[in-house]
Amino acid sequence: MSTERLGPTSYLVLGLLAREGPSTPYELERHVGATLGNFWSFPHTLLYTEPARLVTLGLATERRETEGRRRRVFEITPAGTAALVAWLDRPSAAPTELRDPGLLQLFFADLASPEARLRLAREQLAIHQAKLAAYDQDERLERRPGRSLAGKRTFEHWRGETLAMGLLYESAAVAFWRRVVEGPAARLAADTDLIGVPDGSNVG
């Protein structure tokens, strides 16, 4: 069996199907958007085509609604669960890909005008501040009392844990771009307290 034709997207879908039960591509999209989608984009078309691929591999089944929107509902198979668990049992050693167009532009900023460089830094700072604020908002909603259903407890925890990394990254990015805005004179990544408390106080 070609068990090694599976990529990150495959495991994303398998994992969501395992945790959330039978799902439509749209439901997958919603879940992704609320979690990993914050820092790892999965175009919606992927979440329509990937489950179909999993079906051909015997890792999921497809059922089509007969009424209304006639949506396709996918469900994980035992083989799918096995593949997922096997993947989880073998920690990935692949390095993080940090693909940031802004950083790429900064890398070449010496080839353009100082004004362009400053504009870049300011826009990037704004972008990351906005993202950071969105995380904070998210977290506040999350902590809202009366929302942690018993069964959802575990999921919410893992969700929060993973999002914490995204939040941490955005904090770092804000600190970084702020330094860039302040100019080359400021020493970079050489001070303590580069990253403050991510509680929103460093967003404005």
Of residues 83-112, those binding DNA (CB under 7 A) = none
Instruction: Give min distance, CB of 127 to DNA, in A.
Output: 17
Pick the closer one to a copy of itself by CB: 65 or 116: 116
The CA–CA distances, whole Å, from 80 to 6, 10, 15, 50, 125 equal: 11, 10, 9, 13, 42
Query: Under a CB-based contact definition with an 8 Å cutoff, are residues 39 and 33 in contact?
Result: no
Instruction: Give min distance, CB of 157 to DNA, in A.
Output: 26
Pick the closer one to DNA by CB: 68 or 145: 68
What is the total residue count of the chain?
204
Neighbours of 75 (CB within 10 A): 16
**16 scored as a contact of DNA (CB under 7 A):** no
Would you state the torsion angle of the CA atoms of residues 38, 41, 43, 46, taken in this order, to the nearest 10 degrees? -110
Instruction: Give min distance, CB of 50 to DNA, in A.
Output: 7
**178 scored as a contact of a copy of itself (CB under 8 A):** no
Burial class (CB in 10 A: 0-12, 13-18, 19+), 28: buried
**169 scored as a contact of a copy of itself (CB under 8 A):** yes
| Binding residues for DNA restricted to 111-130, rule: CB under 7 A | none
* CA pair distance 199, 158, nearest whole angstrom: 20
**176 scored as a contact of DNA (CB under 7 A):** no
Q: Which chain residues interact with DNA by CB under 7 A?
A: 5, 7-9, 24-27, 41-46, 48-50, 52-53, 68-72
